[in-house]
Amino acid sequence: MHPSLAQKILCALGLAATALSVHAQAFPSKPITIIAPFATGGSADGIARVVAKELGQALGQPVVVDNKPGAGGATGLLLVAKAQPDGYTIGMGATGAIAIGPHLPDAPPLDPGKQLQPLAKLADIPLVLVAGAKSGYGSLQSLLSAAQSDEVPTGNSGQYTAHHLSAELLASTTKTRLPAVPYRGSAPAVTDVIGGQVPVAIVDLTSVAPHLKAGTVVALGVTSASRSKLAPEIPTIAEAGVPGYVAPAWMGMFGPKGLPPAVAEKLAGALQAVLEKPEVQTQIMNLSAEPAYLGPQPFNAFIDAESKRWAKVIAGLPKQQK
């Protein structure tokens, strides 16, 4: 007795489902590439390499890092977005390209919500508001009091960076005048704060740590929701007098949209296991970042809130800055 057409179709569907299941179970069967949209040598690149090594051990396949810097991180993430959604190409993404870039006047052609799939939040990057030791601003309140009536130029690591927009958020929240002075990175901004060319700046904590110890700059507050594990003596800006203020800088891991559920789950589970290892947490902190794991769904919700926060800040910027 010959099988009916319906039976043939059901058999074909069953074989296809089995093949997909076997493929997912076999993942990974070859090396995985992590695209790091940052230059080599920085803390973000370092975190990518720590995660790659441990992820390779967790998954039983080599995981290599491919640096593709450019366009504030968007260049590398566009490569991730265009990759085959099979789990063999994933990438790091940070505040700028994911939550800020899409809202800029000349935004790169990256739509994180439609093109990328969040796998895990990995780490927070502590940012700190600092003042020169001779600026006269020994506390956040003294700075904000002065900025109520007079402009207080505020350095940052570059226009539209998390550093820049953190200051803009502080200014809009407190109704103060903190005009942006962009630099090419945190280090030159710190140099000018010490020299008195600008009175204050928001910079990476790592770039200013030795100067805080030397007493040439004063920390007024970190931008994150909680104190930094790297410098717990520094209050948050919210604690220092601006309730509700929070402006974190962070990075996470993404895949191209459309990853098979089993593959996405395996990658996310392995990333969680990696981030839970004490030795990995220590290595990340040694790179001046803080482990801050979130799973796929909480990370997706976090990104949505971050995107809305920065869209509002960017929309409120003075027109001449656009």
Domain regions of the chain by residue span: 31-124+249-314, 127-248
Sheet strands side by side (includes 89-94): 63-67, 32-36, 89-94, 250-256, 116-124, 290-294
Q: How far is 165 from 158, CA to CA, in rounded Å?
A: 10
Architecture of the domain made up of 127-248 = 3-Layer(aba) Sandwich (3.40)
What's the pLDDT score for residue 21?
Answer: 47
Residue type, 275: L
Max intra-chain CA distance, the chain: 95
Q: How many CA atoms, within 13 angstroms, populate the side-chain half-sphere of residue 317? A: 21
Tens of pLDDT, residues 168-222: 999 999 999 999 999 988 889 999 999 999 999 999 998 898 999 999 999 999 9
What pLDDT score does 322 carry? 40
Give every residue of the chain whose pLDDT is below 70, as ranges: 1-25, 319-322
pTM of structure? 0.84
Q: What CATH architecture applies to the domain 31-124+249-314?
A: 3-Layer(aba) Sandwich (3.40)
183 vs 286: CA distance, rounded Å: 25
